[in-house]
Structure 1
Amino acid sequence: MAQQIQELVASIRKDGIEVAQQEANAIVEEATQQAAQILAKAKKESQAMIAKAEREIATKEQSARASLAQASRDVQISMKDALTAQLDRLLVGTVSKALSSKDVVLLIKAVVELAGQSETKVLELNKKEFDTLGESLKGALADELKKGLEIRPVPSVDGGFKLVEKDGTSFFDFTAAETASLLKPYLSHAIEALIFS
């Protein structure tokens, strides 16, 4: 009987060890599966975070490039506007000098003669040019002055001259500003090509 008890104890021990071993194996297997799931989830989350960070970086880089391009365009436009304004001033100044020289008397005489009907016209100059060119103009336009042409100094003419109908219905504008604005479209393309190409 002692032997039977020993065999029974050995059998119970063996069955208990097997059950314990099976339970341990099940626990290890479940822990391994949970660890694999946790690792897979962590890997998926880390890849999603990396992808999100890369998208944010790309968006910020694209935004920075767009801002840089806009700033570049703004600088170009400002530079072009500043150069255009400076060239306009130079052009008006150059035309003004040309229209205040003694040679302008010949131009004025030609315009007055081409316009005809001197008796209905007034030649307008600024005060400085009137004082400088007055005598030369009176000599060159003596016949037209006899017909009724008038020569007047006016503050509204900065440089150059205007030939105006006495009743104000029409005029020929040869002021420095107007002549420069008429010349500008023909100069702009050449100047623009030199500066911006």
Structure 2
Amino acid sequence: MMLRRAAVACGLALVLGGTVMPGRQAEAAASLTPAQQGWVGRIETSLAETKSFQARFEQVTEQDGRSVGTVLLERPGRMRFSYDPPSPLLLVANDGKVVFQDRSIGQITTIPLDHTPLGLLLRPNPRFSGDVSILGYEQHGSEIQLRVTRTENPGEGEMTLFFSTRPLGLKGWTVLDAQGHRTVVHFSEARTGVSIPESSFDLPKDED
């Protein structure tokens, strides 16, 4: 149960490193038009240039309903999801791992960063190629949706990233994990180029 709660926290299901869901069929990578490829390139550049980020988030899961909080990001490799009270949850990515704390039961779970979608988002230079494949591209007005998966293990799950085009920036994501559970995360009040205290990314530790 603890690992399951860690998996759905902030939509960080083990999409990029979990157990393959029986019967799940692999999809071919999407064939993009030159215009779509241009947008993907601009998205990659925008992500790489976003060295720090702060926003409010809303998370919705079928299992746990709605929760809200604050997200902090500092590239490369660091992110913090602080859930508003009375939620006992905290998730911090740093030092190549993601640490999930559930204060209600006094336990933490540690997952390698590269085994979560954050491994893609927190790279110094995010790329939607190589070990990550684009399964789908949709554009509706000023929003672009990129559906991605791990190239070598597409049966593990997928992630759909939402970007605004005016201005270009990450709006949130939906994760569909290997067991078919869906988690949706939306950002609001986003600010980039913010100064974040180093202590914000201290990894949670077991409480004595």
TM-score by length of 2: 0.24
Q: Which has more helix, going by share of residues?
A: 1
Q: Which structure is richer in relative contact order (CA contacts within 8 A, separation 6 or more)?
A: 2
Q: Which has more strand, going by share of residues?
A: 2
